[in-house]
Amino acid sequence: MEKPVVVYEPFRAGLPPMREYLRSLWSRRTFIAAFSRSELREQNFDSLFGQLWLVLNPLLLSGVYFLLIDVIGGKSDSSRFAHLTASLFLFYLIANSLTGGVKAITSGQRLILNTSFPRIMLPISAAIVALFRFLPTLVVYIVIHVLLGLPFSWQMLWALPIIVIAIVLSLGLAILISCINVYFRDISSMLPYLTRSLLYLSPILYEAAHMSHRIKKFEVANPIFYLLDSWSRVMVHGEAPTSKGLLTSSIWALGIFVVGTYFFLSRERDFAVRL
């Protein structure tokens, strides 16, 4: 049986034949799973202490912020700590997707130069790794929710579509930033400051309802603002999210995913030259 011949043509911006591309991507789903597992093993995810640190890192951070808010603000309650913890856990899903996605292409230089495959597999694997790092934190939050004596309700099932929206957003961000980093390598150095700024500008250290009206009009410009607000309403207070919150966060997630995917696929054939 003859080996397939791969022809490399001069780069021209534009989408590849999508039917063949998606078929090739689907046929490599086993590789994506294996590659994601190898990344998790590299981060010691399969060990007890590795999984424990995934939970302790945001948990300790929320504890520090809670103490600062309690000391500075002078008053607090159990729901404030639950809000901090739940919001940080979901925020880290997005932040870890960005951190893993930013070097998904540049760190796979040898693989890209020596093998023909859909390059989008690499940022997809980074988003999958971030998702598996997020799942254990859900169990921990449920335990915290019980210990704090917060109520449970059927409205908390809204968490499922919110998580789906967060996954789509995380995947879109991983794809987009992995492509940007090929052309602008300094973005990886700036990423910690960008994620930290996003942390402070999002309703994590505070609840959206407590924002001043002067600043509240800018909340629509933050892609994760309504997502985190909806998450807190559902997980902490047991309330249904607002239709505006779900709609806005869905538009942001789909918009970033579509734009990021189009930008990635249209430039994918240029990666080998840039690397």
pLDDT attached to residue 48 = 60
* Cβ–Cβ under 8 Å, residues 158 and 234: yes
Contact 182, 120 (CB under 8 A): no
Q: In the prediction, which pLDDT does 22 show?
A: 85
State the amino acid at position 158 in one-letter form.
Answer: W
Q: Which pTM does this prediction carry?
A: 0.85
What region does 14 belong to: left with phi over 0, alpha with psi -120 to 50, or beta?
A: left
pLDDT of residue 174: 93
Query: What is the mean pLDDT, run by run of 10 residues, along the chain of 275 residues?
Result: 54 71 84 78 62 68 68 65 87 91 79 76 89 85 85 90 95 92 84 87 80 71 91 90 92 95 85 66
DSSP assignment of 182-232 equals HH-TTHHHHHHHHHHHHHHHSTTSS-GGGS-HHHHTTGGGSTTHHHHHHHH
pLDDT of residue 26: 86
Determine the pLDDT at residue 5: 58
Phi, psi values for residue 216, rounded to 5°: -60, -25
* DSSP per residue, 16-53: --HHHHHHHHHHTHHHHHHHHHHHHHHTTTTSHHHHHH
| pLDDT at 274 (0 to 100) | 65
Hey, where are the domains in the chain? 18-274
Please give the full DSSP string across 86-144, using - where no structure is assigned. Answer: HHHHHHHHHHHHHHHHHTTTGGGHHHHHH--S-TTHHHHHHHHHHHHHHHHHHHHHHHH
